[in-house]
Amino acid sequence: MNSIVKRFSKIPRELVLFMIVTILMGLSTSMMDSTFNNFLDANFSLSGFQRSFLEFPRELPGFLVVFVSAALWFFCSRRLGGISFLLSAVGALCIGFLSKSYGLMIVWLFIYSLGQHLFIPLSNSIGMELAREGHTGKRLGQLNALRNGATIAGSFFIFIAFRYFNFTFKHSFLVMAVIFLIAALVMFRMQRQTVKLPKTFLKLHKEYRLYYILAVLYGSRKQLFITFAPWVLVTIFNQSTQTLATLLTIGGVIGILFQPLLGWAIDHLGERFVLITEALLLVLVCLGYAFGKNLFSEHIAFLIACVCFLLDQMLMSVNMARAMYMQKIAIVSEDVQPALTAGVTIDHIFSITIAILGGLIWNAFGYQYVFYLGMFIAVLNFLAALKIDIPNSGRPQTVK
């Protein structure tokens, strides 16, 4: 026991604080993921197209994040992270208590989502800053494992609260807001970094074009999981909030083991191998969603959809391989965070498009055809991953 305490006492303060933030982020985000689709279904009774169209205001902040980050350049990444959690807290609270109409709910969702998207590039860049040289994948894997453990706790909390304690959606959104607020306070406790005026606020580098292509494909495939995978479970298989919470809990348990293994694989087998494997597995996931109900009984098809949901949830973590690839090909280290932020904006241009296109396809042809589109995206992802080549040591130089 003393050896464990001594080992943890050696962890740097900044890493401890960021570990706490990661746990809080996992708790609150999993609570939102467990409740939001059922909240929409209970309060607004949306069609497939209406649900997909809602991804426009939800994902628009992802497109705007590069411009918002540029406008807030004078904040260091850790202070910007604190601001992102404050926005998420306000958005979550207002969704739960002030969504008197569909239009108002969209406004609060936009604010919540802006906070979430501001933190997406920061989570990887801060995590990589806190890693030892040569162990970046291991560090990101450890942080993601912590987040997955918190996901378990958050989803389990929702399951127990709704099943046994008569929780309402208002209760859950209030708890989310409090957790986001605590995360903001912890971020503000982290050591402030020196901030330099960037030479350019918004610039795409031709040297990073493959990273941008990977960001496009990630944004496209990501939207299938965020929007249509849970919507299949809720509307096609008529599953409840407890079911989604249970799946997220199971995914979190698996992720505790999977995330460090994924980090090890990136460090030892390389980003190229990991991203190629991801693309091939995504083809299988889309096949399961598309053909399960046509080929099997209702019960077996539901189990296949659950397996696909869990596998898809795990594969979302492979995005850290893209972040590490960007870090290794960066000409100078100062390019990393702006490029990651630009990647978020780029992927959201296409994720918004895919959300709307997927809704139109769902309404016109059926949900299976959405996942045919997903298979096509997975094949393009495979072809792009084959092009990955990291020259020399893959270590960016610092501007002097």
pLDDT profile of the chain (400 residues), mean per 10: 59 86 91 85 73 75 76 75 93 92 90 89 78 74 82 85 88 95 93 62 75 86 78 79 76 81 86 91 88 80 89 84 85 76 79 80 84 90 89 47
**Cα angle for residues 314, 177, 127 (degrees, 5° grid):** 45
- Rounded CA-CA distance 105/95 in Å is 6
Neighbours of 277 (CB within 10 A): 17
pLDDT tens sequence across 88-113? 999 999 999 998 888 899 999 999 99
pLDDT tens sequence across 270-302? 889 999 999 999 999 988 888 887 778 878 888
Domain boundaries, the chain: 12-192+207-385
- Rounded CA-CA distance 115/165 in Å is 30
- Rounded CA-CA distance 16/204 in Å is 34
- Rounded CA-CA distance 162/140 in Å is 33
Q: What pLDDT does residue 10 have? A: 73
Dihedral, 172, 351, 147, 262 alpha carbons, nearest 10: 150
Cβ atoms of residues 115 and 88 within 8 Å: yes
pLDDT tens sequence across 158-171? 888 988 888 889 99
397 φ/ψ angles, rounded to the nearest 5 degrees: -90, 150
* Residue in 142, 121, 137 with CA at minimum distance from that of residue 11: 142
Q: Which residues of 129-163 are buried (b: 16+ CB within 10 A; e: fewer)?
A: bbbeeeebbbbbbbbbbbbbbbbbbbbbbbbebbe
Radius of gyration of the chain (CA): 20
Superfamily of domain 12-192+207-385: MFS general substrate transporter like domains (1.20.1250.20)
332 forms bridges with which residues in the sheet? Answer: 397
Q: What pLDDT does residue 138 have? A: 75
Q: What pLDDT does residue 8 have? A: 59
Q: What pLDDT does residue 9 have? A: 66
Q: What pLDDT does residue 398 have? A: 40
- Rounded CA-CA distance 56/51 in Å is 10
Q: What pLDDT does residue 389 have? A: 84
* Residue in 222, 202, 225, 217 with CA at minimum distance from that of residue 388: 217
Q: What pLDDT does residue 370 have? A: 87
Work out the end-to-end distance of the chain between its first and last CA atoms, rounded to an integer number of angstroms. Answer: 45
| pTM exceeds cut of 0.85 | no
